[in-house]
Structure 1
Amino acid sequence: MTPEQNPFTPAVAAAMRAELPAVAERTVAAIVVTVPSYAEAFRGDMGRAIENAVQLALGGFLQLATTTGGGDASRPIGPALEGAYALGRGEAKNGRSMDALLAAYRVGARVAWRHMSETAVAAGMPAASLARFAELVFAYIDALSASSVAGHADHLATSGRERRRHLERLAELLLTGSPAFDLAAAAERADWTPPRTLTAVLLPEARALGALAQLDARTLQAGADLPGAEPSTERAVLLVPDAEGFARAGLLKALTGREAVVGPPRPWQDARSSYSRALRALQLGLRPEDDAPVDTEQRLAELVLRADGEALADLRAQVLAPLDGLGPGPREKLVETLRSWLLHHGRREKIAADLFVHPQTVRYRMGQLRELFGQRLDDPRTMLELTIALGTAEP
């Protein structure tokens, strides 16, 4: 389009520019009615600010349209483009999708086109030029929409990365036992609502992503360089919110087949305690039964007994010293009988059923044990030491 063909004569441009405040007001009013989610935002000072933004966009369009040759609709001027980008970022910051803003653009384009075209025709624009006018209006709106979409996506990407960093930092502070004040501040920075409790879960890093998909969305994750863990373990730790009581069964089910070790639930600011328990179970070699995770709440006795392996071995050797003169076979049978005797409180029939032997065999073996141990089998302290020594299988 040459300058001579340009339908935006000075008279048309002046008439349209004079109408900008009225058109902006009508555009905002139409958006409020058509896009109800904006009704509250458009009231008061915010409404006036948005009217000014609409005027800026319309003014940008007029500047574009009245340039030589009618302008290039694919290149909106800078201020309007920047304003659209900022609107998109604002929507993302407020937690909204782009649906409402794009709907507002469509409504705004329709209302602005109707009123501005009426003004343009009244000011002398030939009717034949309206098609070109419409093309410029809607191409301009498309470009502004694309700029808002870009702003929305950029904010989500930036804020998502930033929040992930804050969540990782919070997990690190929890695992290292930082003071309550620091934990509360870190939770606020991460926009993370503290639960009542946290339960630590240790599992291979390769299994962590699949587990996260089935757990509470507030679950925190920490990866490499876990405090107290061997650098080569390649384990991740998850801190799962409110997994106590009945919810623990759901957590254990979700972790089936994932080689997980599950700590006890602890008040969220004491999550390090849960992590320490799970890590200790892993270091002591507690293994899952079938595909079930290691539930430390069900393995407390083993944890206690294995806490000092050397002390347990010494205790076992000390209290079982009366059996040292026996051969491996007889010794094993008497140790087995003594363990069952302790477990079943001396009830011969239950011991026999447990060992798959005749009750008379139990009587005979217990006679041997009493000969070897003497009165020590009636001593409460010896009974305690035997119970501890025989609480786990001899390595």
Structure 2
Amino acid sequence: MGDAGRPWADLPVELADHMRPHLDAAADDMIQEIQGQVREYDRPGDGSYSVTLRLAVERVLHYFVDRVGDPQHDTGPVTDFFRAIGRGEAGEGRSLDAMQTAMRVGCMVAWRRLAEGAAHLEVSPRTLGAVGEALMLFQNELALAAAEGYAQAKAAVAGEMQRRRRRLLDLLFADPPAAPEAIADLAAAAHWPVPRTVAAVALGQQQDRQPAFPPDILADLSRRTPSLIIPDPDGPGRAKLIDRALGGTLAVVGPTVPLAEAARSIQWARKTLCLVRRGVIEAETGVVRSVEHMSTLILFQDEELITSLAALRLAPLAHLRASQQDRLAETLLAWLQSGRNANEVAMRLHVHPQTVRYRLRQLEELFGDQLLDPDLRFDLEIVLRARALLADRAGEHMIPSVKQAVGESGEVVDFRRT
């Protein structure tokens, strides 16, 4: 048979017949020793637990003896039994430590009785060594089966818990909001303490593997836009915790909102992420916070509207070359932002004050009385800010071309009188 069948093939099959009459006594000794040495197995008032312990011990002994009598004896039933034990321990929330200790104690008792019996039978040292090796291998087989069942159960529990958390995330992002009772029930099932406030997070790319987020953070990285919910984001130390958890990836944190408004937080996080991807909002660090870019988000809330306003208010620049448009738009924005002070504009733009005054005279000629109207100046600042945010993005312009500034009749529209 070779080494593959050792040590079972080295055991005289008649040893099984000598062992069988002593199995009940051996079981009693093993149970007594296990209960004496392993506190978790000493449960005098729990009859069902004692019955289970005896069933396990007797099954192990009978299987061992059957395999001594037949080295090809099917290992499936006993290993399946110990996989079930491992799953049961995981289901009860216990570790395998007590069970593994009990197995070692039981193996020690079995070896002691086998050694005593071998002396009476005058078994050769070689055979006795094979018996001991078989006993050790047998214990290892059962321990591995229990560990496999334990790992399977743990994985199943973790998978179910993760599914519940993903469903909870869906529920919190629902629009209109889900009923508070439904959220509370699913949160309890997902072992997620319900917070007063949350912030949603939109991640910039799919993750190759799920980072180790703190257990109170809900995460679903399988979404088209991987998303998180962070409870109590403004609590002590939470900002640093968030930065550490999200380090190494582009992440946008939405505004802090009451739990029932989590959908609003993720909507703003996604809109911010979109502007980051377009280059409108700069991502200086890995973590971007929507609340720090609210004015930009407002500007780009309705881009068709802001583009239409730009076409109307910036039409006087439409007939100029692109380089002239850029210089005058930059100067006009700086002028509006600096309280219409030419010297401050010069400092902002790092150009000579005389150059600024020349440009301002050009702007007065182009825009006329519009520059005197506070409402129109407000409109101009809005569209010029939006234009400046898009300045580094090739192909996106907010100043209409000459063709756009021509009315349906074919005549040039005089926007200075609009």
Count, aligned residues: 366
- Displacement of 1:24: 1.1
Match of residue 102 from structure 1: 100
Is the Cα–Cα contact under 8 Å of residues 60 and 76 in structure 1 kept in the other structure? no
Q: Give SS of 2:228's match.
A: strand
Residue number in structure 1 paired with 2:282: 289
Matched to 1:239, the amino acid is L
Q: 2:139 aligns with which of 128, 138, 141?
A: 141
Aligned pairs (5 A) from 1:105-184? 105-114=103-112, 116=113, 125-126=120-121, 128=123, 131=128, 134=132, 137-177=135-175, 178-179=177-178, 180-184=180-184
Query: Could you tell me how far 1:239 is from its partner in structure 2?
Result: 0.4
Q: How far is the alpha carbon of 1:27 from its aligned partner? A: 1.6
For 2:342 and 2:329, locate their aligned partners in 1 and report how far apart those are by CA, in whole Å. Answer: 16
* Cα offsets for 1:78-109 (capped at 9, x unmatched): 4x655533321123234554344323311232
351-360 or 253-262, which deviates more: 253-262
**Structure 1 residues 103 and 237, CA gap change in structure 2 (3 angstroms):** same
- Structure 1, 250-259 or 192-201: larger mean CA deviation: 250-259
In the alignment, which residue of structure 1 is the partner of 2:227? 238
Give the drift of 1:361: 3.7
Distance 2:205 2:31 in 1: 58
Normalised by the length of structure 2, the TM-score is 0.70
- Choose the corresponding residue for 2:306, options 294, 312, 322: 312
Equivalent residues of 1:344, 1:350 under 8 A apart: yes
SS in 2 for 1:209: coil
Give a deviation string over 1:114-163, Cα, whole Å, max 9, x none.
4x459968xx9536389376566545433432331232132133334333
Alpha-carbon shift at residue 351 of structure 1 (Å):
1.0
1:305-349 per-residue CA deviation (whole Å, 9 max, x = no partner) reads 122222212222333456667776665544322211121223333
> In the alignment, does 2:379 pair up with 1:382?
no
CA distance in 2, matches of 1:5, 1:83: 22
Three-state SS of the structure 1 residue aligned to 2:282 is coil
User: 2:71, 2:227 → 1: CA distance?
Assistant: 54
SS in 2 for 1:346: coil
Question: What RMSD in Å do the two structures reach over aligned CA positions?
Answer: 4.1
Match of 2:36 in 1: 29
Deviation at 1:302, TM superposition (A): 1.9
Aligned residue among 276, 280, 296 for 2:271: 280
* Structure 1: segments with no counterpart, 5+ residues: 33-37, 225-234
Counterparts of 1:304 and 1:17 in 2: how far apart (Å)?
81
Say if 1:74 and 1:139, in contact at 8 Å, map to a contact too: no
Q: 1:7 aligned to 2:18?
A: yes
Q: Which runs of 5 or more structure 2 residues have no equivalent in the other structure?
A: 1-11, 388-396, 399-418
Equivalent residue for 1:232? none
Taking the TM superposition and a 5 Å limit, the aligned residue runs for 1:196-215 are 196-205=197-206, 208-209=207-208, 212-213=210-211, 215=213
CA distance in 1, matches of 2:202, 2:53: 52
Mapped to 2, the partners of 1:50 and 1:112 lie a distance apart of: 22
Q: Which has the higher mean CA deviation after the structures are superposed, 129-138 or 156-165?
A: 129-138
Who is 1:227 aligned against?
none
* 1:61/1:137 contact within 8 Å kept: no
| Counterpart code for 1:190 | A
Judged with a 3 Å threshold, the aligned counterparts in structure 2 of structure 1 residues 21 and 349 are, in CA distance, closer, same or farther, namely same
Q: Identity over aligned residues, as a percent?
A: 28
Report the AA paired with residue 289 of structure 1: E
Q: Which moved more, 1:308-317 or 1:153-162?
A: 153-162
**Inter-partner Cα distance in structure 2 for 1:333 and 1:4:** 101
Task: Name the CA distance, whole Å, in 1 between partners of 2:67 and 2:92.
Answer: 40
Alpha-carbon distance in structure 2 between the residues aligned to 1:97 and 1:5? 34
* Equivalent position amino acid for 1:275 in 2: I
User: Secondary structure at the residue paired with 2:19?
Assistant: coil
Query: TM-score, normalization: structure 1?
Result: 0.73
- 1:320-335 alignment runs, 5 A limit: 320-321=314-315, 332-335=326-329
Secondary structure, counterpart of 1:199 in structure 2: strand
Spell out, residue by residue over 1:170-195, the C-alpha distance to the aligned partner (whole angstroms, 9 max, x if none): 33333334513333333333344456
Q: Cα–Cα, structure 1 residues 95 and 250, in superposed 2: closer, same or farther, change >3 Å?
A: same
Give the letter aligned to residue 236 of structure 1: T
Write the distance in 1 (CA, Å) between the matches of 2:53 and 2:19.
Answer: 20
Between the aligned partners of 2:205 and 2:331, the Cα distance in structure 1 is 40
How far apart are the structure 2 equivalents of 1:61 and 1:283? 62
1:75-86 pair list within 5 angstroms: 75=74, 78=77, 81=79, 83-86=81-84
CA distance 1:192–1:119, change in 2 (3 Å):
farther
* Partner residue of 2:351 out of 357, 365, 376: 357
SS of the residue corresponding to residue 347 of structure 2 reads helix
Distance 1:88 1:203, change over 3 A: same
> Aligned equivalents of 2:13 and 2:330: distance in 1?
105
Aligned amino acid, residue 35 of structure 2: V
> Which among 17, 26, 35 is matched to residue 24 of structure 2?
17
Cα distance change, pair 92–65 in 1 and its aligned pair in 2 (3 A): closer
Give the secondary-structure state (helix, strand or coil) at the position aligned to 2:377.
Answer: helix
